Structure 1
Amino acid sequence: MKNFNFFKILLENFYQYLLKALSDVHANIADSYYGLGIIMDNKGDYESSLKWHKKCIQIRNETRLMNDSSIAYIYNSTANVYQKQGAYKQALEYYNKTLNLCKEIFGENHSDIAMRLNNMACIYASEKRYSEALECHRKALIINQSHLPDDHFDFSATYNNLAIVYSYMSQFDLALEHFNVPLAIKSKSTFINQLDTALTLKNIGLIYEMKEDFLQAKSFYERAAAIRHHILSSTHCDVIQIEHDIKRISIKIKEKIVT
């Protein structure tokens, strides 16, 4: 970690050197602005990050070549910073810019479009605009279905996000249906992140808990706990959290038996 922080300091100093050495219209200065924006984002200095991102955007717009998609990724990065600030209106504005530019360059059915739609859906969900979130996730799903096999690992995130939105809307059966899809995909995948599987199992447990099916909830929590205990230390926050979930649901089961 110390070496990584030292590297970031060196990189920041290098970008600052480039800013002094290059002219304001030099193409590389835009890259330096962008690099500083990313570094400030990683530091949690979002205002400085936005300042550098916007300087980069200004130069990129002035020097942009036809079909240059690089600015779309800078718009997306800017939106991410606004999202971290909780400035959802501005985040949506920049996600829309990204989406429109990607459509202009790649067409309506490109996988990049699906990614941008999923980003926008997460903003809508944060704003409790659930119908708009579902619409974006569904459009993204349709695009991905035209490019990927049904059991492709990339579908997991979209189905997971759809399930989360349905749970916010208290449509628990639909949430379970959509959580089970990524669980099935992960069970078939060779390149599986077990901690992702544990998170999906925990989420399914939460849905059953909200449905007051406490025995099922406990079963899924225990499956999630088994994975986390196998991979993480006993003091890891995710292990501690899942153990709290199991204790909480065990109390609810006892209370239900008593009543």
Structure 2
Amino acid sequence: MTIDPTLESTPYVETQKICAHEAEEEILFSMHSICRINYCQPMKCSDDVWEISLILTSDNDPELQAITGAIRDQVNDVPGWHRVASLFLILGKFKEVHEIYDNLLQLQQTNDIGEITNLLQFHGIAKLGEGNPDDSIKLLKEAIKRGQPDLPVTQAILDSVYVNMGMSYFQKVGYPKAISFYEKALKSKIESLPNSRHFVGKLYNNISVVYCTMGQQTKADSIFKKAEERLGFLPDKHYELTAIQANVGNMSFDEGKPYERISLYEKSIESAKKFLSENHSDFIMYYNNIGLLYESVGDYQSALSFTKEALHIAETTLPVYYPDIACSYNSIGKVYSSLDQHQLALCYHEKALECHEKSNSSNQLHLAVCFNHIGSAHIEIGEFSKALSFLNKALEIKQKFLPENHSNLPEMYTNVGLVYFYMHEYQQANSFYEKAIEIQQKSHFENHPALATTYNSIGCSYRTMKDYPKALSYFEKMLEIQKSSLKSDHPNFVTSYSNIALLYSKMDDYSNAISHCEKENDILKNSLPPNCFQMAIFYYNYSLVYLGKKDYSQAMSLSKEALDNLQKTGNENQLLNTLIHNTLAHIYLELVDYPNAVSCLKRYVNFNKNLSLEIILIWLQLTTTLDVHIAR
């Protein structure tokens, strides 16, 4: 234990010289002494015995007083077992809260309306904590019914009930009702206790979260600032400020500032660790969100580490099929998708869907998220009819529950457009892309990463339609957004430089094409191992530029480099293998090396026994052409 003897208010006495057994070296502490836990570590003699380092605080420690006061403020209005249950709520121990109020309701024999109202309210909170908003609303409605006849005596209790009704409707996607109940509580509390900073600050924060979820970012931001002002009295390390910092992070994300948001979440997690247990359910949200942020900036290993830690806590602390478990499955799946492990990603997204379906959750938007992720995975796998089926399900739900210009809809339109693009229905694809862009330009900031993604998609579509000037304008818009919001070595630049390079190649501007390929190569070499699937794609695309330039020697060298990379990765990607061998055959044909051209295609056919009809037709067309050349 560490004790600062210079602090006169630190209560302790050394008793070694006045006690009967001097060898014991005892120290006497006050009954109300409070220590900080500095660290814990297993003793060298046994893993079952731990050494705990403590730091004795002083009686007037300002940070301790502020934290104690904030906790007291939260539970001060409730007596007896209600106070115990409130502490369990703070700790995320919903099962214990549920048990307390089940027993209290069964034992209740009083006619005290306030007591009955409180029992019903906290029982409802426990139900909400267990992921059952419908049962929560029933209990809270009964609490309001019981409490209203005894106003104004029960006003403080009913204000709390209104807040919990708002939380329940928020979980059910009833956003207007959630705001209505929050504002009802806010009005009452400001009128009765205008200086209630803690309660009012939390209400402003809750309202801002609802508006943020509804896609009304400007309104959410203005209300959130009121929450910051009200909760400014809390100490920097108070655990409730972590939620506020996370909310700031949400705003930063909507402004397209992922690195700023990561920094805010790191501060939130650091603060929460000093106050909450390591398996507290609040960490599920923190780890999931920061994991997805790392995914968005291309740090996939950190992303995987955080999202898997979130899943571990969720599975350890929450009931089976709880919605937060499904959220963790989806987060992990999204990271694996970014790592091009699409079958594994699909597996996690399907687990998330199963979890939501078995949880009997009334939040249909959770299902829409799963359908969207599963549809996206099927796109990457090449199963377009399945993808379209799942994406249409997701779009139907989101159009039903969200405003027509909600910021979540563009992702859906972009994904549906992508399916139509792969199905060669380019006009249909563009109509969905344009819907997405229209909403994004209205609801997002001009440098938002989501808008860059849509510009890329519609640019690819116009490139395929051979409208090269229009395609180039969209690709350049995408690149401009990325330069303003991402670090110069971010992996997303690879897509931009690759698309622009191929476009310049098709426009016979080989100097610009090669320049962008070199920029792409610089990023890939610094961020990827030398032999990987992404490098194989790069070398193949680069070979096409030199093929268009009629520099067959360089084109052949790059094609062989692509094939070598593909073989070393062990990735038997059928489409890329076909494209590389077709390119090599084309090069050999131009070099009038017909035997090697035919040999190249035959080796590929022997290597790949399960060819699709489309690939067989390509092979037949090419070999027929080569046979004619050989005959000549």
TM-score (norm 1): 0.75
State the SS of the aligned residue for 2:511: helix
Are 1:91 and 2:429 an aligned pair? yes
Q: Which residue of 2 aligns with 1:160?
A: 498
TM-score, reference length from structure 2: 0.34
Which residues in structure 2 correspond to 1:57-206 (within 5 Å)? Answer: 57-62=398-403, 69-189=407-527, 194-206=532-544
In the superposition, relative to structure 1, how do residues 17 and 140 fare at CA in structure 2: closer, same or farther (>3 Å)?
Answer: same
Identify which of 48, 61, 70 aligns with 2:389.
Answer: 48
Between structure 1 and structure 2, the one with the greater Rg is 2
Check whether the contact 1:30–1:55 (CA below 8 A) recurs between aligned residues: no
Q: How big is each residue's C-alpha offset from its partner over 1:142-201, in whole Å with a ceiling of 9 and x where there is no partner?
A: 121112233332211101011122222233332222222101221222567722122221
Aligned counterpart for 2:562 among listed residues 218, 224, 238: 224
In structure 2, what is the Cα distance between the partners aligned to 1:175 and 1:2?
33
Q: For residues 125 and 244 of structure 1, do their structure 2 counterparts lie closer, same or farther at Cα, with a shift above 3 Å needed?
A: closer
Question: Take 2:490 and 2:396, find their aligned partners in 1: how far apart are those partners?
Answer: 38
2:551 to 203, 209, 213: 213
Deviates more, 1:158-167 or 1:171-180: 171-180
SS in 2 for 1:45: helix
Amino acid at match of 1:91: A
Residues 78-132 of structure 1: CA deviation (Å, up to 9, x unaligned): 3233333333333223222222322333211222222221122112112222111
Deviates more, 1:3-12 or 1:163-172: 3-12
Identity %: 23
- Alpha-carbon distance in 1 for matches of 2:347, 2:479: 41
How large is the Cα RMSD of the aligned pairs?
Answer: 3.6
State the SS of the aligned residue for 2:389: helix
Find the aligned partners of 2:343 and 2:411 in 1 and give their Cα distance. 29
Contact 2:504–2:510 under 8 Å retained in 1 = yes
Change (3 A) 1:146 1:14: closer
Displacement after TM superposition at 1:53 (Å): 3.7
Q: Which has the higher strand share?
A: 2
Is the alpha carbon distance of 1:193 and 1:72 closer, same or farther for their aligned partners in structure 2, counting shifts above 3 Å?
Answer: farther
Letter of the 1:86 counterpart = H
Superposed CA deviations along residues 50-84 of structure 1, whole A, max 9, x for unmatched, are 6424422321335x7xx953223223233233333
Aligned residues: 246
Unaligned runs of 5+ in 2: 1-341, 594-632
Do the aligned partners of residues 217 and 108 (structure 1) sit closer, same or farther apart at CA in structure 2, a change above 3 Å counting?
same
Query: Structure 1 residues 13, 127: closer, same or farther in 2, change over 3 A?
Result: same
Determine the C-alpha separation between the residues in 2 that align with 1:191 and 1:230.
Answer: 12
Q: Which has the higher helix share?
A: 1
Whole-Å separation in 2 of the counterparts to 1:196 and 1:2: 17
* Alpha-carbon offset, residue 133 of structure 1: 0.8
RCO higher in structure (CA 8 A, sep ≥6): 1
